[in-house]
Amino acid sequence: MSEAVLLRHLYLAMFSASVDQRFVSRHLCTLWMDGDLESPQKRLLARIVPSGLIEYLKMPALSVAEAENLDFLEAEESEFAAYEQRPDGQGGSGKKGFGAMARLKERIGDLVTDGP
């Protein structure tokens, strides 16, 4: 049963719409994955995840500054998603968008319509 809980939290850690849920699930997955390389949890993960991702997960942890930057980017993305999903269809103050995600989407849109 613990493997099923791990799979559920692994899914929520990656795909949950709630930033808080992703944080909690990531923390739980980290706790469960800590330990021996031959633990049942790590063997299960090795069976369901591509080997390239497993190698990526073996990389050293982020520094505090890098983690804070990622948290900032994720919060900014979450704010942008809330901004886009307003029921009245307006993005707030009439601005085209804000944040890194808005700039990225705008640049991609420009490339698609105008070409390189």
Q: Are 96 and 102 in contact (CB under 8 A)?
A: yes
- What are 54-81's pLDDT values in tens digits? 788 777 877 888 877 887 877 777 766 6
Q: What is the mean pLDDT of residues 23-49?
A: 83
Q: Which of 72, 75, 97, 93 lies closest to 84, judged by CA? A: 97
CA 89 – CA 8 distance, rounded (Å): 33
